[in-house]
């Protein structure tokens, strides 16, 4: 019983007790004399009081649940995620997708024996059922990582999210400067790709990274790593 119904029940109970006891001349009502004709008006009065007190106390009607959509298989492929290597996490409502990379790191120069190193990873996200009148939108993309470059070394991180068969927004971050440098890799974008209205489809992401260093430079080389890709999805009305 909710708070308002409890108040209503208390008021009606007091009213019934007084009326019953007054009519019988006793302090305690005789339940054996209570018939359906006596109970029914009481139940009606409880319902009416509950409705009135609910409105007076600002009770809100239940909110309409947001329509659902379903994601299918999510697969990874590329030199930075060989054989699909990587941890994919999907929230219960399918509105958050997180990919944790295990081998999206590159190193060049120093003792690495390489003047250039590059990696890439593509994710394929299958979108299944989409409610009529809505489309699924990747509303936010966040790419995170870190880099440490020696003097003269350079690098770049690039990312694209798109619906299969189309082109999407391209993001990139240049790494390096004239001297030694270190810092965070952080790319972020909003409203990057969407399905058709009331249709499923295949959403894709492509992430790449490279570092260029001095092959003959002694000591520690330059390195960079992408650690995580986070996607936020939502339903948007086609109107």
Q: What is the pLDDT of residues 184-222, one digit of tens each?
A: 999 998 867 889 999 999 999 999 999 998 765 566 789
pLDDT tier, 63 (very low <50, low <70, confident <90, very high otherwise): very low
Residue-by-residue DSSP string for 17-34: HHHHHHHHTSSS--GGG-
pLDDT tier, 62 (very low <50, low <70, confident <90, very high otherwise): very low
| Integer Cα distance of 115 and 146 in angstroms | 19
Q: Is the pLDDT of residue 11 over 80?
A: no
| Integer Cα distance of 204 and 107 in angstroms | 26
Domain match, 52 and 75 both: no
Please report whether residue 64 resides in a domain: no
Please report whether residue 66 resides in a domain: no
Please report whether residue 221 resides in a domain: yes
Give the residue numbers spanning the domain of 154.
71-237
Domain match, 86 and 191 both: yes
Report the pLDDT averaged over residues 35-64: 50
Report the predicted TM-score, pTM, of the whole model to 2 decimal places. Answer: 0.69
Q: Dihedral (C-alpha) 167, 168, 169, 172: value to the nearest 10 degrees?
A: -80
Domain match, 119 and 18 both: no
pLDDT of residue 147: 95
Per the structure, how many domains does the chain have?
Answer: 2
Domain match, 224 and 161 both: yes
Q: Is the pLDDT of residue 145 over 60?
A: yes
Q: Which of 56, 82, 98 is the last residue of a domain?
A: 56
pLDDT of residue 69: 86
pLDDT tier, 110 (very low <50, low <70, confident <90, very high otherwise): confident
Q: Is the pLDDT of residue 73 over 80?
A: yes
Domain match, 21 and 86 both: no
Domain match, 80 and 195 both: yes
| Integer Cα distance of 166 and 179 in angstroms | 39
pLDDT of residue 172: 94
pLDDT of residue 61: 43
Please report whether residue 62 resides in a domain: no
Here the tokens at position 200 are 């499923």
Report the pLDDT averaged over residues 98-126: 93
- How far is CA 27 from each of CA 12, 20, 21, 97, rounded to the nearest angstrom? 17, 9, 6, 67
Least reliable range by pLDDT among 26-30, 74-78, 176-180: 26-30
Q: Is the pLDDT of residue 8 over 70?
A: no
pLDDT tier, 103 (very low <50, low <70, confident <90, very high otherwise): very high
Domain match, 50 and 79 both: no
> Across the chain, what does the average pLDDT equal?
79
Question: What value does the CA radius of gyration of the chain take, rounded to a whole number of Å?
Answer: 32
pLDDT of residue 44: 47
Q: Is the pLDDT of residue 109 over 80?
A: yes
Please report whether residue 52 resides in a domain: yes
Domain match, 87 and 125 both: yes
Domain match, 228 and 130 both: yes
Domain match, 99 and 16 both: no
């Amino acid at each position: 019983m909710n708070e308002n119904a409890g108040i209503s029940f208390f008021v009606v109970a007091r009213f019934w007790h007084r009326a019953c006891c007054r009519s019988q001349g006793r302090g305690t009502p005789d339940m054996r004399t209570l018939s359906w004709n006596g109970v029914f008006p009481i139940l009606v009065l409880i319902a009416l009081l509950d409705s009135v007190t609910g409105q007076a106390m600002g009770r809100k009607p239940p909110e309409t649940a947001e329509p659902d959509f379903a994601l299918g298989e999510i697969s990874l492929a590329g030199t930075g995620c060989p054989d699909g290597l990587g941890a994919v996490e999907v929230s219960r409502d399918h509105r958050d997708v997180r990919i944790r990379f295990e081998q999206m790191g590159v190193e060049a120069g120093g003792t690495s024996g390489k003047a250039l190193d590059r990696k890439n990873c593509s994710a394929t996200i299958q979108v299944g059922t989409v409610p009529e009148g809505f489309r699924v939108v990747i509303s936010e993309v966040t790419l995170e990582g870190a880099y440490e470059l020696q003097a003269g070394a350079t690098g770049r991180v690039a990312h694209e999210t798109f619906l299969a068969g189309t082109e999407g927004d391209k993001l990139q971050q240049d790494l390096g400067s004239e001297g030694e440098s270190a810092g965070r890799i952080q790319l972020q974008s909003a409203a990057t790709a969407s399905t058709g209205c009331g249709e499923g489809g295949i959403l894709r992401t492509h992430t790449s990274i490279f570092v260029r260093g001095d092959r003959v430079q002694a000591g520690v080389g330059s390195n960079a790593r992408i650690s995580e890709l986070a996607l936020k999805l939502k339903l948007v009305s086609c109107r």
